[in-house]
Amino acid sequence: MLGLKVLSALTLAASIVVSGGIAKAADVPAAGASPRIDAIKKAGVLRVGVLANTPWLVENTTGSGEPWEGPAWLLAQEYATQLGVKLQPVPVSHETKVPVLASNQVDLSITPLAETPERLKVVDFVLYSKTSVCIFGRKDNKKFSEAASVDAVNAPDFTVAYFIGGAEENWVKERFPNAKLRGVTSSSAPAPIEEIMAKRADAAAINRVQWVLLNKKVPGLTALPKENNCQDSNEKAAPVGLAIDKGQDVFLEWLRAVEKDMQPKLTADEARTVETMK
């Protein structure tokens, strides 16, 4: 028995020398380890559900180059390259972007999804970014523009507007219990901008990415937190990533290992995409 163990150890050592070192965490699992990877390789394509969500996944409508861009697409390209298959985008909707996984219409849903307790019950995530909100107001409103932090808005002399039934309503009520709250009917705008411009409110919440677009479109606004044009905000933060169907542990571990290796490139690509929005 001892001789067999020694032989096995020598064989392993030899394989490490031949390969040039210990296998990296992101190495593709061997055949038979992951039924999903085996199926992808057999089909020759990696099917990914796509639905635009700036800055993580942006559709290229120019007619030339890659059909999509952004960190979600960059990561999906790396997966396809390492698997040795083609990348096949499959259009999905807001209603189908999660169910398509259970129905096996796609291998990954790369349309950017915020991780929530409800979604975690049915899918597993590969996280690479986050979503959060900014608090914005008028530059000429000294009370707001001179505020040092978001905490300063939680005061009786501030009025914070929100859309009734909107995504930020409950958060605004919890975050600013000491401020005057002004609920208004939702509109096509990403936030209650009319309340701010008409000076009926001092502040309102908006998604950090939508803030970049709003700030470009409407002059005379400013936001909190001030760092990096509010892109580093941790207010109402939630992780963002791609999703796979449950019960694929080996596949999931490999996907996460590749994402970890790619993280600096993904962060840089997200920053580049945000910059193009300004």
The verdict on 61 and 190 lying in the same domain is no
The verdict on 242 and 126 lying in the same domain is yes
Q: Report if residue 56 sits inside a domain.
A: yes
Q: Report if residue 244 sits inside a domain.
A: yes
The verdict on 161 and 137 lying in the same domain is yes
Q: What is the pLDDT of residue 11?
A: 38
pLDDT in tens, 209-224: 999 999 999 999 999 9
pLDDT in tens, 170-200: 999 999 999 999 999 988 889 999 999 999 9
The verdict on 140 and 121 lying in the same domain is no
Q: Report if residue 6 sits inside a domain.
A: no
Range of the domain at 190: 133-230
pLDDT in tens, 75-118: 999 999 999 999 999 999 999 999 999 999 999 999 999 999 99
Q: Report if residue 26 sits inside a domain.
A: no
Cα dihedral across residues 98, 101, 106, 109: positive or negative: positive
Q: Report if residue 250 sits inside a domain.
A: yes
8 A C-beta contact, residue 67 and residue 127: no
CA distances from 38 to 8, 35, 193, 256 (A): 27, 5, 51, 18
Q: pTM for the whole thing?
A: 0.82
Q: Report if residue 1 sits inside a domain.
A: no
Q: What is the 3-state secondary structure (H, E, C) of 86-140?
A: EEEEEECCCCCCCHHHHCCCCCEEEEEEECCHHHHCCEEEEEEEEECEEEEEECC
Cα dihedral across residues 50, 53, 56, 61: positive or negative: positive
CATH at residue 158: 3.40.190.10
The verdict on 63 and 126 lying in the same domain is yes
The verdict on 116 and 161 lying in the same domain is no
The verdict on 40 and 106 lying in the same domain is yes
Q: Report if residue 145 sits inside a domain.
A: yes
8 A C-beta contact, residue 86 and residue 107: no
Q: Report if residue 152 sits inside a domain.
A: yes
